[in-house]
Amino acid sequence: MTDRFVAIDKGKKSLTSQFVEFWVETLIFFKIQLKEFGSNAIVVALFSMVIPSGVLVMIALMPINITKEVAIIYISGNIMTSISNLCITTLAQLLIGIRMRNGFEHLATLPISNYSPIIGTIMSAAISTFPALIIMPLVGMLLFNITIKISVWLVLVVCMCIVIMSGIGSIIGTFSEKYQTSYTLSMVAMFFVMFGTPVYYSMDSLPFVVQVFQRMLPFSYALEAIRLLMVDGSLTETVIIDILVLTLFMMLSLLFTKKFFTWKKRR
């Protein structure tokens, strides 16, 4: 079936039918990719939790007095590290693996939405991050003997961060033609997450020029919102602004993907 006939066929369907069909296709790819992650579940779990948990343990063992605010900085930073490991690096490598098996060309010939495979893959990567997101705060609370506020808004901010990072991993994986390219771009993206944002320190402690640069990255807003919500759980003006900015970054990511994304081979 050609793209022309697919477009005509979809044009005859109601919006409700198209929506249902889209999510049926997406769930199929979600189950397929979840099985791929499941076959390497132990490796994925170790990759996302061991290093961040090890960092928390080493900090907790240091002979220094760590306040609740400082402990939350370290916990939130390690949560961010876990998300970036899976949603950027692992997802990018998974997608480039599909490309190297000529899977992109196959998907381009199917009479389905372009976005079903990619959203299904992103959903599977998001599910894979949940163990780390549950264990990391628990480990931090035990090590530093503190209490963290868990709220709906905190879950929302974390989910938004997962979507944004999954978008970055998806772009890297779909635009790369080789493993080496995908790996290099993933490391560059990880560099901006680890060193371009205040992962292990407070943004206020840095020079103003550095703060301006960090404010250009979505992860800084995610970290700020996560830390404030962990302290008291209330929806303050700062948290609302952070959520609005993260929403803007998500919209820009979706617009960019809609304009440039394709499963077809690039020349």
Two structure tokens written together for 130: 């949940």
**pLDDT for the residue numbered 248:** 93
Mark 175-213 as b/e (b = at least 16 C-beta within 10 Å). Answer: bbeeeeebbebbeebbebbbebbbbbeebeeeeeeeeee
pTM over 0.85: no
pLDDT in tens, 114-140: 677 777 777 777 777 777 778 888 888
**pLDDT for the residue numbered 54:** 78
**pLDDT for the residue numbered 243:** 94
Residues of the chain predicted below pLDDT 50: 1-8
**pLDDT for the residue numbered 83:** 83
- Judge contact between 265 and 105, C-beta under 8 A: yes
Two structure tokens written together for 253: 């990511």
* Residue given tokens 């809609």 in the structure block: 258
**pLDDT for the residue numbered 260:** 61
**pLDDT for the residue numbered 55:** 79
What's the rounded Cα separation, in Å, for the pair 179 and 124?
A: 21
Alpha carbon distances (Å) from 124 to 16, 91, 205, 231 = 25, 9, 37, 30
Task: Give the start-to-end residue ranges of the domains of the chain.
Answer: 3-9+16-260
**pLDDT for the residue numbered 38:** 60
